Amino acid sequence: MLSLMTASIVAASPGHRESLLPLEQEFFPEAGADGGFVFDGPAVDPLLAQRKASAPVASVDSQVAGFAFAQPWAPRNFPRDLYTDFILSYVAVAREQQNQGIGSQLVRWVEADVRGRGSNLILAHVPAHLETFYSGLGWTVLPERTGLGWTQNGADVPIKADSPDDDPRWSRLAYIALRPEKVETFTFVVNTTKPVLDAARRLAELARNDSELRASLPAIVTAQIGVFGAPVRGAFGQIV
Ligand SMILES: CC(C)(COP(=O)(O)OP(=O)(O)OC[C@H]1O[C@@H](n2cnc3c(N)ncnc32)[C@H](O)[C@@H]1OP(=O)(O)O)[C@@H](O)C(=O)NCCC(=O)NCCS
């Protein structure tokens, strides 16, 4: 039977870096190869001190038992002021403290924190075996090779989109819409290495036969799908 532990959770400060680094290295060793561990130096300090990242630390009996790390996210080349969604890069609980609800507490903390900052959606690249962990928290876990695109209701913001990694360890996209009335999500099959391109094509396809959807799209999205999503015509003018 699962026994639930109430861990105390606080926002990480630069002072937590030293105790978080071993957890990061244990659970996300590939991060080191990808350009360095987040907690292995002072570069992360301003993110923590100014609360740009959403980074809860869970403690049990004054010992660090787990942490999560999320930061503002948008597709490459997106205007910085439109980084209103978050990517949850890490959630980890020390092995001896797992299965007591602490991982769930950490994700809930991030959700409440970023919702409070006006964020509409959190995204994560997750392993297939954690589908039940995320779906139990009300997140949607997409099938393999499936990307997520979304537009923002009532705001002239370009399409945001992301695809899962090729790396089988992080082969699924998971997300939660914190304000479902503000975002219109759709999925697409990954075709290229450019998620926004795949998403624009898919949205163009959906909008082609749906006048209500077409009318609801922000002007900038209509322009985007006009460029990326024009139907491909064959030698006889047919849509291929
Ligand atoms: C994933 C992780 C953070 C979960 O933390 P936790 O404190 O053990 O999770 P919880 O106790 O809140 O579990 C909640 C539910 O998810 C399920 N779950 C948790 N870990 C799981 C796992 N490794 N595999 C399958 N299901 C899991 C639990 O069974 C539980 O379901 P229940 O309430 O129906 O019993 C923890 O296992 C971990 O640190 N894993 C290694 C690092 C990692 O893979 N992080 C995820 C990166 S995306």
Q: What is the pLDDT of residues 111-158, one digit of tens each?
A: 999 999 999 999 999 999 999 999 999 999 999 999 999 999 889 999
For the Cβ of 98 lying below 6 angstroms from any atom of ligand 1, the answer is yes
The alpha carbon of 174 and the centre of ligand 1 are apart by a number of angstroms equal to 14
For the Cβ of 99 lying below 6 angstroms from any atom of ligand 1, the answer is yes
Which residues face 72 on adjacent strands?
86
The pLDDT value recorded for residue 32 is 80
The alpha carbon of 216 and the centre of ligand 1 are apart by a number of angstroms equal to 38
The alpha carbon of 103 and the centre of ligand 1 are apart by a number of angstroms equal to 6
Please give the number of the atom of ligand 1 that sits closest to the Cα of 104: 12
Helix (H) or strand (E) holding 8: strand 8-11
The set of long-range contacts for 32-39, using a CB threshold of 8 Å and a minimum separation of 24, is: 38/69, 38/89, 38/90
Query: 151 φ, ψ to 5°?
Result: -120, 165
The pLDDT value recorded for residue 229 is 61
CATH fold of the domain at 7-119: Aminopeptidase (3.40.630)
The answer to whether 38 and 82 have CB atoms below 8 angstroms apart is no
What does pTM read for this prediction?
0.92
Those residues of the chain that have pLDDT short of 70 are 1-3, 228-234, 237-240
The pLDDT value recorded for residue 33 is 80
The pLDDT value recorded for residue 60 is 95
The pLDDT value recorded for residue 154 is 84
For the Cβ of 132 lying below 6 angstroms from any atom of ligand 1, the answer is yes
For the Cβ of 93 lying below 6 angstroms from any atom of ligand 1, the answer is yes
Query: 168 φ, ψ to 5°?
Result: -60, -20
